[in-house]
A = this chain, B = another copy of it.
Amino acid sequence: MKVCFFKLHGWLKVKKSINEQLKPLFYPKSVAVIGASNNPAKWGFSIFNDLLAKGFKGDIYPVNKNEETISGMNCYKSVKDILEPVDLAVIAVPVEVVPQIMGECVEKGVKTAVVITAGFGEAGGEGEKLEREVVRIARQGGIRFVGPNCFGIINPSSNLSTTGIMSLYITPYVPKGSIAFITQSGNLGSFMLRLAFERGFGISKFVSSGNEADLHFEDYLEYMAEDPDTKVIIGYVEELRESRRFFEMAKKITEKPIVILKAGRTKTGRKAAKAHTGALVGSDDIYDACFKQAGVIRVREIQDLFDVAVTLVSQPLPKGNRVGIVTGGGGFGVVAADMCEELGLEISQLTQETMQKLNQRLPPRWSHSNPVDMVGTMEYAYVCIGTLLKDENVDSVLAISSVGSPSKIFDQYPPALRNQLAKFAEMMVEWESTRGVMGLIERIKKYEKPVILAAPPTSREDSEAIREFEKNGIIVYPTPERAIRILAYITKYAENKKRKSGA
Contact = CB atoms under 8 A, between A and B. Distances in A.
Interface of A: 40-41, 45-46, 49, 52-53, 71-72, 118-119, 123, 168-172, 183-188, 190-191, 194-195, 198-199, 236, 238, 261, 263-269, 271-273, 275-277, 300-303, 327-338, 340-342, 347, 365, 367-369, 371, 373, 375-376, 402, 406, 409, 412-414, 417, 420-421, 423-424, 426-427, 456-459, 478-482
16 contacts: A45-B424, A49-B417, A72-B420, A168-B421, A170-B409, A171-B409, A172-B412, A187-B328, A261-B335, A263-B335, A272-B330, A275-B371, A276-B334, A302-B335, A302-B480, A302-B481
A107 B255 CA distance: 73
A264 to B, nearest CB: 6
Contact of A184 (B266, B328, B331, B417): B331
Given A52-B420, A186-B329, A264-B338, 5 more contacts: A118-B365, A185-B330, A188-B332, A269-B341, A302-B479
A49 to B, nearest CB: 6
Nearest to A269: B338
Contacts of A456: 190-191, 194-195
Contacts of A333: 272, 275-276
Counted per complex, copies of this chain come to 2
Contacts of A52: 417, 420
A331 B457 contact: no
Given A328-B187, A409-B172, A334 B263 contact: yes
A275 B194 contact: no
B275 A338 contact: no
Contact of A338 (B72, B265, B426): B265
A407 to B, nearest CB: 9
B365 A123 contact: yes
A52 B458 CA distance: 26
A371 B271 CA distance: 10
A475 B52 CA distance: 38
Contact of A457 (B169, B198, B263, B481): B198
Given A195-B457, A238-B331, A334-B263, A340 B375 contact: no
A329 B337 CA distance: 37
A456 to B, nearest CB: 5
A276 to B, nearest CB: 3
